[in-house]
Chains A and B, each alone.
Chain A
Amino acid sequence: MNYNWDWGVFFKSTGVGQEIYLDWFVSGLGWTIAVALVAWIIALILGAVLGVMRTVPNRLVAGIATAYVELFRNVPLLVQLFIWYFLVPDYLPEGLQTWFKQDLSPATSAYVSVVVCLGLFTAARVCEQVRTGIQALPRGQAYAGLAVGFNLVQVYRHVLLPQAFRIIIPPLTSEFLNVFKNSSVASLIGLMELLAQTRQTAEFSANIFEAFTLATLIYFVLNMSLMVFMGWVERRVRVPGLMVGGK
């Protein structure tokens, strides 16, 4: 069989309106970033709360957080996504249900599902990192905080969390990158993010290799730039004398 190599394919018309294939990739990348960033914000906030919960001296609170982590870590991401997209909307209250199913465009309701799913999924992983970070601090830190007259909330707010977050930047970076990679599952519920657009380009143009090479390149560059960015953040917030440089 003859394969027609054509690296100019990205500038050709898709046959849909005025668009060229490159436009598809750009809009796909936009969706990927929009999913990943919002999901990451949810994951960071919820993960920090859960991570704190796992370390407080209260069995019930710690138990709830542990149960959350076990549940969200042991069910495949795709199953969770299907649950959020196909199952949960049916059990929402009447008003919310009509809003989700009728008022939102298909792309938006898929987007909401993916963001919620990925945010809660990643929160379990962030929680574990936050917990490790807090537990890595010398116990004296918390005691000193209490001795100065802080209450437990203040100890976490002013003593433990600011230090813990700085220690865990390297593992958090890899979770951050994972959010971008995991966001590709959105293509399976019809959100036209980067991978879905790639597949569509491959199928429309029959230039499979070019399409997937470009997608790989985009993911690669995205990864590298996020890594550089997080490395910069890490250097900026490093506590002198507390951490040894590098990863």
Chain B
Amino acid sequence: MDFSQIVPALPALMEGMVVTLKLLVMAVLGGVVLGTFIALGRLSSNAFLSGLAKAYVNYFRSIPLLLVIIWFYLAVPMLLNWITGDFVPVGAFASCLVAFMMFEAAYYAEIVRAGIQAISRGQVNAAYALGMTYGQAMRLVILPQAFRKMLPLLLQQSIILFQDTSLVYAVGLMDFLNSARSRGDILGQPHEFLIFAGAVYFVISYCASYIVKRLQKRLVV
């Protein structure tokens, strides 16, 4: 094993890492926002709305992420073509981002739902008693408390998502893993680059999980 070639390749690997992190941050933000709306839908008293949200969650939770990534990669350009009528080029990045957002939203929705349900009923009633509307009660009273409680779980899910971003390999997006693989192939040292990539993923996920665990202990009242 000879790891000396990795140092000159670092700038290229860094570029890959930037793609991975960009994908991660945007997918987490989009996923949490969409997931919150789905959770609110699931908890709504409207049977149609809650049924729809439930179907969404069950649907995405029963299929593999890889299937969603590949499907969206093939289908998004086609759908846009139908809607807009002309050919819109969609990069692998955009299609992967949409896939991650929609897929992770199903998982985030379950976390948010549990978080909202953990807030005592009296809080909602108190908010209504003060004359708040549904939107105000959610925005000012319920969600801030719920998010504080579920922050560790949301972060844990995001660490899993960080690892899952490597699946974009399937559609050829140059994320961290893929750039490490292609560099390794070019330089004739695929093993070293693969081990290096694995080590980087390990260190980041391990440290992040450690921080989340610490945070969890601190947030316990």
Tell whether, in the assembled complex, residue A185 and residue B66 are in contact, meaning their CB atoms are under 8 Å apart.
yes
Q: Interface readout for A194-218 with B: 1 if CB under 8 Å, 0 if not?
A: 0100110010000011001001100
If A83-B198, A184-B66 touch, whether A208 touches B74 (CB-CB below 8 Å) is yes
Secondary structure dominating the interface of A: helix
Quick one: closest A residue to B197, CB to CB? A79
Report B's interface with A, CB cutoff 8 A.
Answer: 59, 62-67, 70-71, 74-75, 78, 81-82, 87, 163-164, 166-167, 169-170, 177, 181, 190-191, 194-195, 197-198, 201-202, 205-206, 209
Q: Is A173 an interface residue (CB 8 A)?
A: no
Which chain B residues border A1 with CB–CB below 8 Å?
78, 81-82, 87
Tell whether, in the assembled complex, residue A182 and residue B64 are in contact, meaning their CB atoms are under 8 Å apart.
yes
Which chain A residues border B170 with CB–CB below 8 Å?
187-188
Q: Using a Cβ cutoff of 8 Å, how many contacts connect chains A and B?
A: 98
Tell whether, in the assembled complex, residue A216 and residue B169 are in contact, meaning their CB atoms are under 8 Å apart.
no
Q: In the assembled complex, how far is the CB of residue B197 from the closest CB belonging to chain A, in whole angstroms?
A: 6
Instruction: Please tell me which one of the listed residues B59, B65, B194, B201 contacts residue A181 in the complex, with CB atoms under 8 A apart.
Output: B65
Looking at B70, B74, B201, which has the most chain A CB atoms within 10 Å of its CB?
A: B70
Quick one: closest A residue to B190, CB to CB? A86
If A76-B177, A77-B163 touch, whether A215 touches B67 (CB-CB below 8 Å) is yes
Instruction: Please tell me which one of the listed residues B65, B66, B195, B205 contacts residue A187 in the complex, with CB atoms under 8 A apart.
Output: B66
Q: Is A74 an interface residue (CB 8 A)?
A: yes
Tell whether, in the assembled complex, residue A75 and residue B78 are in contact, meaning their CB atoms are under 8 Å apart.
no
For this complex, 20 residue pairs linking A to B, each with C-beta atoms less than 8 Å apart, are A1-B81, A3-B78, A74-B202, A75-B163, A76-B164, A77-B163, A77-B166, A78-B169, A79-B177, A79-B201, A82-B181, A87-B190, A87-B195, A181-B62, A181-B64, A215-B63, A219-B67, A220-B59, A220-B62, A224-B62
